Amino acid sequence: MNRRWRPAVFFEAEGLGGGGGSLITDDQPGGSPEGNQGDTDNNPPAGNNPPGGEGNPGQVPGWVSGLTADLRENELVKAHAKPSDFVKAALAWKSKADGAIVKPGEGATPEEVEAYHKAMGIPAKAEEYQLAENELLGKDFTKAQRELFLKNGLTQDQAKALYEENVKQLQSGAEALKQANQTARAEAETALKKEFGESYTQKLSEARTALKRFAPADVISYLDKTGLGNNPGLIKMFAAIQAQIGGDSLLGGSNAGGGTDPKEEVKRRFPNSPQMYS
């Protein structure tokens, strides 16, 4: 009797965990079960992302695949999950750009610069800055501040805020200097009274007389404003000068010594101080 030939078929024993299955029956196309056991993400290939971009974090939205290569790699583009999100953002950016004030670049025309200044609130002239003049600092200070602000393109609000802060700091510094001068004066008075004793008033008067006689008005003003006139050494020096040259009789009046013209004597003793005998 003729028998039809049949291929031998072998089955894996159940429970042995061996074998590899077949491509057509495997639930994981392209690989064996063992090869996919470690893959728990089950992520679809990058080219098959959902069109709306609702994939796993870090995936490129599907709509981006329709763009050219240079745009697909743009981080700004990839940040939007849907085309509509990107369009909304682009329209918002355009709205902001249309209302922005752009600073003119190199080669800008005078008209462009003027339009920019007007839009920003920058005055055309330094005098147009609305700054309150300060009695302590004077008009020259305020004028210099206005010119500086215009040179640096400050707006009215910026200039006003900076000016007021400058005035505040300078006033604070002046007050601190005043306090320091008062302290120095008290300390000098104490030291000189201790040194001169009962002669303190006379010595101070002699020092003041010599200062007025020899020092120009601007020097006296400088010593007064800076507080240097409180220096004990300076006071003793002028007191000693007055004691050396004597009173007004040396510059005119009675000639106690006789025989010598007082002015000639002053010239001889102070050849570099013509103001003493002119």
Secondary structure (H, E, C), 6-54: CCCCCCCCCCCCCCCCCCCCCCCCCCCHHHHCCCCCCCCCHHHCCCCCC
pLDDT, position 111 = 76
At 23 the pLDDT is 32
pLDDT along the chain (278 residues), means of 10: 53 48 43 47 46 55 81 82 82 71 74 73 88 89 94 91 94 89 91 93 92 90 88 92 68 42 67 67
Residue 83 CA, chain-centre distance (Å), reads 43
pTM above 0.85, yes or no: no
Instruction: With beta carbons less than 8 A apart as the criterion, state whether 276 and 213 touch.
Output: yes
What pLDDT is stored for residue 3 in this prediction? 57
The pLDDT, as a whole number, for residue 59 is: 72
Q: How far apart are CA 124 and CA 119, in angstroms?
A: 12
pLDDT (0 to 100) of residue 258: 46
Residue 253: the pLDDT is: 35
